[in-house]
Structure 1
């Protein structure tokens, strides 16, 4: 049976792919989690979600992400995290436990992700982002809530030349078209049709 969902950027999949540096990562599972990282319930949740010492010991600190592979956590503010996993993951089941003092809300349908990768990804983002994206300041594992081309986003650098932009579904079309325009000077060959 075909998937009945339609991602916020399905209509721009071809233009994004034609850039060679952008693609949508639709349907990622994500939960906003709020709680004091020093509380035992948050430690239990970290241990359940991330077996091993990585998050069981501590949640990500300001401006950073924690976790490797498809499941990771982004710091969004004091006691506020965005947990992200692959589409269709068991993240919802892991969040079903009763954890006093911890709030977990499924926000998977509220955002989509545009991934930019390649040697010019940073320059494309810098056209509309006030953050200093220089590698000395914002490197792999960094994340921040910011504005990109006047849209509120969460920016996460996953590798030296790869960034993920979490944007609200209602702003996805606007931001993707802005990114396509900002990337024009870095695209080889024919102009990308928007």
Structure 2
């Protein structure tokens, strides 16, 4: 009876329940177990369902810069490998004409793209929602820099890589964007397809520190 009803119901009146699934769902139990052990010097958690938009534009175009600032709350950073803070968003420099805009909290998918794309109007710019293809993982603890150095080639000394900066790199075989957020705490943007691998190898590396 239900199927017959759906078949005869006008398309505009049909509703489908959509359940969001974390990119780290397959390792949720492993992450939870790590939290329960309270491992000294290291903690990891996923920050799922963040809005993440790839933006391309020309910083010399006032129309682009003004439209961006009106929506996000700040101008795109011009200095390489830096982060600008907006109204509920962080803007990560990826290149001279490319940025990641990431929400600071879980939001409805596509929310930022729906605001940015029309705001650009005729400006030579683009905003593409890529949130479904990535997730954000936070790590914290006194030994996080040592841990990251095992699979990341960057110089992570706190005098050189600190809050307000970001960098594209790798952790072993996973491509990442690494963001210091204060002290020994980092947020890491990782592709959805690498999320399971990244979390497992991160926890393996953390376990070796404790041995």
TM-score by length of 2: 0.79
CA RMSD of aligned residues (A): 2.2
**What corresponds to 1:41 in structure 2?**
63
- TM-superposed CA distance for 1:94, in Å, is 2.1
Aligned length: 184
1:87 aligns with 2:106: yes
Q: Distance in 1 between matches of 2:85 and 2:119?
A: 23
Q: Kindly indicate whether the alpha-carbon contact (under 8 Å) linking 1:41 and 1:101 is maintained by their aligned counterparts in 2.
A: no
**What corresponds to 1:4 in structure 2?**
19
Q: Distance in 2 between matches of 1:75 and 1:126?
A: 22
TM-score by length of 1: 0.85
**What corresponds to 1:59 in structure 2?**
77
**What corresponds to 1:14 in structure 2?**
29
Q: Distance in 2 between matches of 1:114 and 1:127?
A: 17
**What corresponds to 1:72 in structure 2?**
90
- TM-superposed CA distance for 1:155, in Å, is 0.8
SS in 1 for 2:169: strand
Give the structure with higher Rg (CA): 2
The answer to which structure has the higher helix fraction is: 2
Q: Kindly indicate whether the alpha-carbon contact (under 8 Å) linking 1:151 and 1:167 is maintained by their aligned counterparts in 2.
A: yes
Q: Kindly indicate whether the alpha-carbon contact (under 8 Å) linking 1:111 and 1:169 is maintained by their aligned counterparts in 2.
A: yes
More off after superposition, 148-157 vs 40-49? 40-49
Q: Kindly indicate whether the alpha-carbon contact (under 8 Å) linking 1:16 and 1:23 is maintained by their aligned counterparts in 2.
A: yes
Q: Which segments of 5 or more consecutive residues in structure 1 lack a partner in the other structure?
A: none
Q: Distance in 2 between matches of 1:122 and 1:186?
A: 12
SS in 2 for 1:170: helix
